[in-house]
Amino acid sequence: MQIGQHVLPHGLCLGPMAGFTDHAMRAGCHERGAEYTVTEMVSAKAVCYGDKKTPLLARVYPEDGVCAVQLFGSEEYYLAEAARRLTDGCAGGVMPAAFDINMGCPVPKVAGNGEGSALMKDPTLVERLVAAVAKATPLPVTVKIRSGWDAAHINAPEVARAAEAGGASAVFVHARTRTAMYSGRADYRVIAAVKAAVSVPVVGNGDVVDGESALRLLRETGCDGVMVGRAAVGNPFIFEEILAALEKRPYTRPCGEAYYQAALAQLHMRAAEKGEAAAVRESRKQMAMFVHSFPAAAACRARIHEAATVAEMADILSVLR
């Protein structure tokens, strides 16, 4: 599949997750096979108002591979102006691969404000927002949507067509409704319907936890790529596993030492960018997932949430070795 000038041979994508997909996680996943990564969601208004914390969220690095910036908002002006500023601000730096408009976030403070998944209630607004951003930047514009607002309003194909009409270069579909949040099973029939509704690339998201489930998503939907979200937290090796499955190669899960080194690399990269205290604080959930499937995980998680320094965290993680 292809987004703009970027060819993604296997369509392996790391999904955007607030509080997780910072530079450290994106770099770790790209190193292990993610062909496309996306930043944490960035407030369009925060970009326009000059919020001091926002530039770090929106920054793209060479180690991220092909990386898009995800914007959220509900007003044409702010989304377009944010895309324009971030495009101009990258002169001499690393240009994002695309701007993705968040139309899938289900959390109340976003959807309740008319943003995120709430945008799916108004396909005509979706078209206008995509068109406004596409006019403001030469970079591709994509959207990440859900199945719909609730089970009575499954309108992902209609929303995808509206996005395409506005100029979207690709559509990412999480096959759950907003009201379902992250519960239940993803309905792959919705992804298949979106694929049939538009001519741009469609990437499926939901319940991909290993190579076998990635193959199932592709087989049942006919979509162009796979986006992995929660299953990549603490397990960047999932992309190696999916790639092996796609290429019909045997796969052996890495040893604990490999997990230890991957976790430590994320921790040190985060500390170099954000300072030790912030890095340790922001790493706790990720580090807890690194030890999730290893012996004594419960005891380790308790200690991880009490760690205050990189050295303390590294010592706790040594249980992986």
Close Cβ partners of 109 (under 8 Å, ≥ 6 residues apart) = none
**Known active-site residue 105:** yes
Q: How many residues does the chain have?
A: 321
Sign of the alpha-carbon dihedral angle for 3, 192, 148, 11? negative
Give me the residue label for tokens 């290893």.
294
Per DSSP, the three-state class of 204 is strand
Q: Which member of 29, 105, 223, 300 is catalytic?
A: 105
In Å, how far are 173, 178, 258, 288, 301 from 313, measured between CA atoms? Answer: 36, 35, 16, 10, 11
The span from the CA of 277 to the CA of 165, in Å, is 46
Distance CA 20, CA 229 (A): 10
- The token duo for 255 is 């040893």
Nearest to 61 by CA among 49, 71, 69: 69
Per DSSP (E only), the strands in the chain are 2-3, 6-7, 12-14, 36-38, 42-43, 66-72, 99-103, 141-146, 170-174, 202-205, 225-228
Which of 20, 97, 103, 110 has the alpha carbon at shortest distance from 64? 97
SS3 of residue 241 by DSSP: helix
Q: H or E element: which one contains 310?
A: helix 310-317
Do 145 and 115 meet the contact criterion of CB atoms below 8 Å apart?
A: no
Cβ-based burial of 276 (10 A; exposed 0-12, middle 13-18, buried ≥19): middle
Which residues participate in catalysis according to the annotation?
A: 105
